Amino acid sequence: GAGVSQSPSNKVTEKGKDVELRCDPISGHTALYWYRQSLGQGLEFLIYFQGNSAPDKSGLPSDRFSAERTGGSVSTLTIQRTQQEDSAVYLCASSSDRVSYTFGSGTRLTVV
């Protein structure tokens, strides 16, 4: 597609459940990033993938968070045993160079 696609756009889940968030990057973009944005806040880096290199997981807040990128394309961010503090908008971005990130519209996660 022409842009970065994220699904679902909204997700409401019960505390303690696992959730999976999906990101379809722009075709040909070798780098893929996940960020988290809490209400009224800036973006917090979570993880990024670059080509076949090991992902940089330094921003993941706990071991309940994990992500994978299959075939150098689609990525899934998984949150296990969700907590209320996990409620946020999860944004995915992809890029073909160091600077020009294209963001998706995000998945709004609400943990009740």
Partner 1 sequence: GESVGLHLPTLSVQEGDNSIINCAYSNSASDYFIWYKQESGKGPQFIIDIRSNMDKRQGQRVTVLLNKTVKHLSLQIAATQPGDSAVYFCAELRGTSYGKLTFGQGTILTVHP
- Contacting residues toward partner 1, per CB under 8 A: 4, 30-31, 33, 35, 40-45, 48, 50, 56, 59, 91, 93, 95, 98-106
Q: Which is nearer to partner 1, 14 or 28 (CB)?
A: 28
Rounded-to-integer distance, Cα 96 and Cα 85, Å: 32
* CB 87, CB 79: distance < 8 Å: no
Q: Which is nearer to partner 1, 14 or 39 (CB)?
A: 39
The least distance separating partner 1 from the CB of residue 81, rounded to whole angstroms, comes to 26
The least distance separating partner 1 from the CB of residue 55, rounded to whole angstroms, comes to 11
Rounded-to-integer distance, Cα 81 and Cα 1, Å: 32
Residue 29 tokens read as 């973009």
The least distance separating partner 1 from the CB of residue 15, rounded to whole angstroms, comes to 25
Using alpha carbons only, what angle is made at residue 68 by residues 57 and 101, rounded to the nearest 5 degrees? 70
